[in-house]
Homo-oligomer: A and B are copies of this chain.
């Protein structure tokens, strides 16, 4: 079934120990869409400026991403992020953020989009996330990401959103920040108390944790000898998860675990090059091969 995502589409300028790129295609909804598109059709809701290169839109459309909801703001300039990774590259250092067209983004879902059963609210202002959520009329599963900035500045809107959502995805630092709890299992449980039925905590190179009323499990990241650029890894992880869930409709414990494993594997491709470059050189068959490798890695035989 199809999958709707709202989030940012950005032009990223990134520096890592392995090189740099300027004005490369990025943004939470971009990485999410591309990652999910390996599994299922994706409908993208985002805003760009008139400066957004046609080639970038073509890239998403070539993967079957419906970009009819990618609004060009007249006279607007695309959202830009500039960041740097050093050392173990586990967290980005933001050097500059130009919100530009994001400042007054106020999405209205076309009727076709409002019928989408799987909904992902990628990292963006929780007020916008909530607005999109409430326009989605036939939700089967709705999940939201966030970031420390919204936890600190829009906590009330975020908590309101979490009371209406099925699942929350966020990283370990954000889980600790929002709950004031160092232990991640306890932090996850506190988030469940805030409303969602499940929470997925991303731990970067250390993998991820899933918590619901009945399940608590952790999965490691896929071991990588070369991480070129971690930008978008978390969004790609979420894209793999939601793409798999939307494609299969498996919303039981085993389905979520498989979805997390696919998300982990998809994210491992994303970090092997800047922007979407590695994704552009892969296909579902290669993702499935690495998935089987990952599955075997974690299978503890008798």
Contacts and interface: CB of A to CB of B under 8 A. Distances in A.
Interface of A: 87-89, 182-186, 189, 203, 205-207, 209, 216-221, 223-227, 254, 257-258, 261, 294-295, 297-301
A5 to B, nearest CB: 25
Contact of A298 (B182, B227, B300): B300
A286 B197 CA distance: 30
Contacts of A294: 300
Given A216-B223, A218-B297, 12 more contacts: A87-B182, A88-B182, A184-B205, A189-B225, A206-B206, A218-B223, A219-B298, A220-B220, A261-B300, A294-B300, A295-B300, A298-B300
Contacts of A218: 207, 220-221, 223, 297
A7 to B, nearest CB: 28
Contact of A300 (B184, B216, B225, B258): B258
Q: How many copies does the complex hold?
A: 2
A287 to B, nearest CB: 14
Nearest to A187: B225
21 contacts: A87-B182, A89-B182, A183-B227, A184-B205, A184-B223, A185-B225, A203-B206, A206-B206, A207-B218, A207-B220, A217-B298, A218-B221, A218-B223, A219-B220, A257-B300, A257-B301, A258-B300, A261-B300, A295-B300, A298-B300, A299-B300
A9 B144 CA distance: 50
A281 B157 CA distance: 46
Given A203-B206, A254-B301, A300-B258, A223 B295 contact: no
A297 B297 CA distance: 13
A185 B227 CA distance: 11
Shortest 7 CB-CB distances between A and B: which pairs? A206-B206, A185-B225, A218-B220, A298-B298, A217-B297, A295-B300, A220-B220
Given A295-B300, A300-B295, A207 B206 contact: yes
Nearest to A183: B225
